Amino acid sequence: MCERYNGAMKITRKAICAAILPALALSLAPALRADVTLRYETEFKPAAALQPMLEQFTKTMQAGAGTSTSIRMKGSQGYTTAGNWIEIFDFTKGDVTLVDPASKTFAVLPLAQLMDKMAGAIPQPGAQAMQGVQQILESMKSTVDSKVTGKTEEIKGVQAEEREVTLNIDIPLPPGMVKQMGPHVNMKIVMHIWTAKKEEALRVQAIRELTGYQAWQKYIVNPAGMFEKLAGRMPGLSNAIGPFVEELSKNQSVMLRTRTEIYMPFLAELAKQAAADGQQFPALDPDAPLLDMNQEVVELSTAPVDASLFEVPKGYTAATVEDMVAEMVKAQSVAAAAAKADGPKADAPK
């Protein structure tokens, strides 16, 4: 049948396979679903000249966000860890369980409510602070550029390709600051995103499973949607960096590596002025990133996943999402204070 003619077009077996195999592979995924584990490690690297000054910041980031992120899947369930929390997804029931090991609490809610609950539970700055922030956000101008670089590489046995997304932000300054810093300050964020090539979903079972998970995330736990919820509480933020977040959410291939570079060239000019005034400040390269954040997959496997991971541990008590977020913020404040206490100490007077 594959060799018959359909009008003037000959439909070959190869053409049919090329058209339907990817869709068929994903449609059969629930029946053939295998366990899968994906784990990332994250590294924060301030510019060399600023490492002593930003040591506390780096420790705080690592204490709050953590350096390891993992995704595990078994059947119709998903398990993720990031920072201080665990999220257990039940794709059949359509709910998610948030688990906080630090306070031994958990909350179960429908997936449809997750973004609203999380956004609403995050503390909002006071009116006075918001007024100043709002003025800055409304004055910000931004541009976004995205391109496929053509670079390819094998990462954990998977063929990957790179996409580069750049956000440029320009902030006009009030008259009182123009003399010192110029009429505006600028910053740039560049993200190098390495994702599995689409055809790898047919060759690598773990990628096939995670591709289905990524598609589910796009429509149920949408990062861009979460940003919109948060931005709604800070008018002006969406206009400033909304297009950047939207661009990042377009490619739903499995992410294998990211490198985020943050540039603030205006700080290099301030460093020069400080040095001219006799103040001590490290010299900065305006063309070099102020901070690098690198994340890369360190484990990708289809080894069996322990079913007990998808159960709330015994002894944990139910709580509201609002209470859990409050505890998380409190824990991060404690971690930040501990990082500050462990920071570099000044030499004792002799």
Residue 132, pLDDT > 50, answer yes
Return the pLDDT at 214.
74
Q: Give kind and range of the element (H or E) at residue 118.
A: helix 111-121
Listed ranges 85-89, 288-292, 303-307; the one with the highest mean pLDDT? 303-307
The pLDDT of residue 59 is: 64
Q: What is the structure's pLDDT at 28? A: 41
How would you class 167 by CB atoms within 10 Å of its CB: exposed for 0-12, middle for 13-18, buried for 19 or more? buried
* pLDDT, tens digit, 9 for 90 and up, residues 261-272: 999 888 887 777
Pair of tokens at residue 150? 């053509």
Render pLDDT for 199-235 as a digit per residue (tens, 0 to 9).
999 999 999 988 877 777 666 666 666 666 666 666 6
Closest CA to 290 of 143, 187, 215: 187
Q: Residues of the chain with pLDDT > 90: what percent?
A: 33
- Burial of 14: CB neighbours in 10 Å, binned 0-12, 13-18, 19+: exposed
pLDDT tens-digit map of 60-81: 655 555 578 899 999 889 999 8
Distance, first Cα to last Cα, the chain: 92
Which secondary-structure segment (H or E) carries 256?
strand 255-263
DSSP-assigned letters across all residues of 164-178: EEEEEEEEE--HHHH
Calculate the CA dihedral of residues 312, 316, 317, 322 and round it to 10 degrees. -70
Q: Which helix (DSSP H) or strand (DSSP E) does residue 334 occupy?
A: helix 321-341
What residue has token string 């909350």? 107
Structure tokens that stand for 142 in this block: 């931004």
Burial of 85 (0-12, 13-18, 19+ CB in 10 A): middle
Q: Is the confidence at residue 105, as pLDDT, over 90?
A: yes
Q: What is the pLDDT of residue 26?
A: 41
* DSSP three-state, residue 306: coil
Question: Mean pLDDT, the chain, as a whole number?
Answer: 77
pLDDT digit string (tens) for 150-181? Answer: 999 999 999 999 999 999 988 887 666 656 66
